[in-house]
Structure 1
Amino acid sequence: MRGHVRKRGKGWVYVLSIGRDLTTGKRKQKWSRSFKTKKEAERELNKAINEIENGIFVEPNKVTLGEYLENWLEDYARGAVRPTTFSSYRFAIRTHIAPHLGSLTLQELQATHIQRFYNNKLESGRVDGKGGLAASTIQYMHTVLQKALEHAVKWQLINRNVAKLSDPPKIRKRENATFGAEEVKRFLTYAKGHRLYIAFLLGITTGLRKGEILGLRWNDVALEEKMLSVRKSLALVDGKRVLQEPKTSGSIRSVPLPSLVVQALEEHKLLQSKEKIKLGALYHDHGLVVTTSIGKPVSPSDLWKYFKSILKKADLPNIRFHDLRHTHATLMLQQGEHPKIVAERLGHSDIRLTMDTYSHVLPNMQQEAVERFEKMFLSDE
Structure 2
Amino acid sequence: MFDRKSDGEAWLIETRHDVARGVHTPGSISPTVNEAGALWIKRCNEKKLEAMTIKGYEEHCALHIYPFIGAKKLSDLTVPAVNAFADQLRDAGRSSEMIKRVVRSLGAIFKEARRRGLSNVAPTIGLDLDLPERDDPRPVIPTKAELQAIITASTARKSRLWRALVLVAIFCGLRASELRGLRWVDVDFEARLINVTQRADASHKIGRLKSKLAYRSLRLSSLLLNALREWKLACPKGDLDLVFPNGIGKVESYANLIEHGFGPIQIAANVTKLVPVTDDAGKPVINNAGEPVMREAPRYGLHALRHACASLWIEQGHNPKQIQTLMGHSSIMVTFDTYGHLFVDSEADQRAADNVQAKLLGS
Select which of 209, 228, 231 maps to 1:246.
209
Counterpart check, 1:288 vs 2:249: no
Q: CA RMSD in A?
A: 3.5
Structure 1 pair 47/343, CA: closer, same or farther in 2 (3 Å)? closer
Higher relative contact order (CA 8 A, sep 6+): 2
Bigger shift: 137-146 or 113-122?
113-122
Structure 1 pair 66/202, CA: closer, same or farther in 2 (3 Å)? same
2:204 match: secondary structure: strand
1:201 match: secondary structure: helix
1:348 match: secondary structure: coil
Larger Rg, first or second structure (1 or 2) = 1
2:74 match: secondary structure: coil
Q: Which amino acid aligns with 1:55?
A: G
Q: Which has the higher strand share?
A: 1
**Contact 1:83/1:244 (<8 A) preserved:** no
Partners of 1:180 and 1:117 in 2: CA distance: 41
Question: Structure 2 length as normaliser, TM-score?
Answer: 0.74
Q: Which amino acid aligns with 1:332?
A: W
Q: CA deviation at 1:180?
A: 2.9
2:340 match: secondary structure: coil
Determine the structure 2 residue equivalent to 1:169.
Answer: 131
1:119 match: secondary structure: helix
Counterpart check, 1:320 vs 2:301: yes
Partners of 2:83 and 2:181 in 1: CA distance: 39
**Contact 1:199/1:290 (<8 A) preserved:** yes
Number of residues of Structure 1 aligned to a counterpart in Structure 2: 314
Determine the structure 2 residue equivalent to 1:231.
Answer: 197
Partners of 1:316 and 1:308 in 2: CA distance: 9
Partners of 1:209 and 1:365 in 2: CA distance: 29
Determine the structure 2 residue equivalent to 1:58.
Answer: 25
Q: CA deviation at 1:74?
A: 0.9
Note the 1:29-44 alignment, pairs <5 A.
none
Structure 1 pair 340/157, CA: closer, same or farther in 2 (3 Å)? closer
Q: CA deviation at 1:117?
A: 3.7
Q: CA deviation at 1:77?
A: 6.3
Q: Which amino acid aligns with 1:312?
A: I
**Contact 2:313/2:323 (<8 A) preserved:** yes
CA-to-aligned-CA distance 1:318-363 (integer Å, 9 cap, x gap): 1332111111121232234455444332123555654553333333
CA-to-aligned-CA distance 1:156-199 (integer Å, 9 cap, x gap): 42343344567262544522222233321111111222544322
Counterpart check, 1:211 vs 2:211: no
Partners of 1:292 and 1:182 in 2: CA distance: 30
2:341 match: secondary structure: coil
Determine the structure 1 residue equivalent to 2:106.
Answer: 145
Q: CA deviation at 1:253?
A: 0.8
Note the 1:290-369 alignment, pairs <5 A.
290-305=244-259, 306-317=261-272, 318-348=299-329, 353-355=334-336, 357-363=338-344, 366=347
Partners of 2:111 and 2:266 in 1: CA distance: 45
Select which of 133, 136, 160 maps to 2:94.
133
Partners of 1:71 and 1:285 in 2: CA distance: 37
Structure 1 pair 363/264, CA: closer, same or farther in 2 (3 Å)? same
Q: Which amino acid aligns with 2:218?
A: V
Q: CA deviation at 1:57?
A: 3.2
Unaligned 5+ segments in structure 2 are 273-298, 352-363
Q: Which amino acid aligns with 1:348?
A: H
Structure 1 pair 98/351, CA: closer, same or farther in 2 (3 Å)? closer
Partners of 1:356 and 1:114 in 2: CA distance: 23
Counterpart check, 1:103 vs 2:65: no
**Contact 2:200/2:207 (<8 A) preserved:** yes
| Same amino acid, percent of matched pairs | 25
Partners of 1:111 and 1:350 in 2: CA distance: 25
